[in-house]
Amino acid sequence: MNAIRLLIADDQALVRGGLAALLNLEPDLEVVAEAGRHDEVLPAVRAHRPDVCLLDIEMPGAFAGVSDGIDVAALLAREEPQVRSLIVTTFGRPGYLRRAMESGAAGFVVKDTPAAELAEAVRKVHAGQHVVDPVLATESLAGGANPLTAREQEILRVALRGAPVAEIAAAVHLSQGTVRNYLSSAIAKTATANRIEAARAAQRHGWM
């Protein structure tokens, strides 16, 4: 029986190494590649052909259309659909869980999951099943759907850096008036006072 081939993507070398060491102890699992940035994942997948990618959410290396590990999962679902994605993150936010499942990820677990459970999650994902942290699943159902549109999320990501309206407008290729309208909507939906607070609230809930 061939081992399940794994790619581990995490920006912390110690975390990558620890996960790799633990998973390589399993006789049916083999870590064949590692990545420390979002933009390294797809090339590594094409070079090493893993069966399952373990993806962290927050890493450097953002590029067009990809700002976090959930976007990477969506990219893999489009470009390399034979590869299954399992989100393994410190940030167990219900909004992230919803986004991950909608993106095409096959599973979502937190990093403090015991090694034996993580290995079993990998096996289930490889077998075509979906694996979700049960506590997060309950919180996600209780928290409701993401209220922000895709465009509002895009604008708030730029706003989170403290960019003025003119800079946001240039970044997203919209007029300043249109950006103000989107920001007003996002501020209302997040029940905050300004665009920075709205962006932080959206990040805190995992809505972007």
Tens of pLDDT, residue by residue over 40-76, are 999 999 999 999 999 999 899 988 889 899 999 999 9
Residues 126 and 34 in one domain: yes
> Are both 112 and 177 inside the same structural domain?
no
**In the chain, how many domains are there?**
2
Residue 52, H or E segment? strand 52-55
With a CB cutoff of 8 Å and minimum separation 6, the contacts of 35 are 7, 8, 9, 41, 44
| Together in a domain, 136 and 184 | no
| pLDDT cut 90: percent of the chain above it | 67
Residues 119, 189, single domain; the answer is: no
Which pTM value belongs to this model?
A: 0.70
**Claim to verify: residue 59 and residue 116 sit in the same structural domain:** yes
Contacts of residue 71, defined as CB under 8 A and 6 or more positions apart, other chains included, come to 38, 65, 103
The mean pLDDT of the chain is: 90
Query: Are residues 125 and 201 located together in one domain of the fold?
Result: no
Percent of the chain with pLDDT over 70: 94
Say which range, 29-38, 50-59, 138-147, 168-177, has the weakest mean pLDDT: 138-147
Rounded to the nearest angstrom, the gap between the alpha carbon of residue 134 and the centroid of all alpha carbons in its chain is 18
- Residue 67: its pLDDT value, please? 87
In the DSSP assignment, the letter for residue 3 is P
| CA separation for the pair 122, 127 (Å, rounded) | 9
- Shared domain check, 111 and 35: yes
105 and 190 share one domain: no
pLDDT digits (tens, 9 = 90+) for 72-107: 999 999 999 999 999 998 876 767 887 888 888 999
CATH number, position 185: 1.10.10.10
**pLDDT at residue 107, rounded to an integer:** 92
**Domain boundary residue among 89, 115, 142?**
142
Residue at a domain's end among 93, 117, 142? 142
Q: Are residues 42 and 137 in the same domain?
A: yes
Asked if 181 contacts 151 with a C-beta cutoff of 8 angstroms, the reply is: no
Query: Has residue 207 got a pLDDT over 70?
Result: yes
Within this chain, do residues 22 and 86 fall inside the same structural domain, yes or no? yes
CA 182 to chain CA centroid, Å, is 24
Same domain, 71 and 29: yes
Same-domain status, 132 and 162: no
Q: Give the 3-state secondary structure of residue 173.
A: coil
Domain ranges, residue 200: 150-205
What DSSP line would sit under 58-127, residue for residue?
S-S--BTTB-SHHHHHHHHHHH-TTSEEEEEES---HHHHHHHHHHT-SEEEETTS-HHHHHHHHHHHHT
- Could you tell me the CATH number of the domain that includes residue 34? 3.40.50.2300
| Single residue among 142, 174, 190 that ends a domain in this structure | 142
